[in-house]
């Protein structure tokens, strides 16, 4: 979800919807990775597709890290 901060309270309805796509993308990627044996590249594509689906968002980069040492996978 999206934090209920004073900054987020100023977002328009369309901006709020776009902002929630980040957490939605992470959840979808997590579910996708548990159901299938997928590569990191495929997970990044899933995340990218969800976040960009609104037409409002822009992505500088996506990185998936190893939770043990925070090194890229």
CA angle 60, 2, 64 (to 5 degrees): 40
The CA distances from residue 22 to 31, 66, 68, 69, in Å, are 14, 19, 23, 23
Q: What is the pLDDT of residues 19-43, one digit of tens each?
A: 789 889 999 999 988 887 889 999 9
Report pLDDT for 4.
58
pLDDT tens digit sequence for 54-71: 888 899 999 999 889 989
Is the pTM higher than 0.85? The answer reads: no
Of 30, 67, 65, residue with least CA distance to 50:
30
More confident residue, 49 or 73: 49
How far apart CA 72 and CA 70 sit, in angstroms, is: 7
């Amino acid at each position: 979800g999206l934090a209920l901060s004073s900054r987020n309270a100023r977002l328009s309805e369309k901006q709020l919807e776009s902002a929630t796509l980040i957490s939605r993308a992470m959840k979808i990627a997590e579910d996708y990775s548990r159901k299938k044996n997928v590569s990191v590249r495929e997970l990044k594509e899933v995340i990218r597709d969800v976040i960009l689906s609104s037409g409002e968002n822009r992505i500088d980069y996506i990185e998936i890290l190893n939770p043990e040492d925070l090194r890229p996978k």
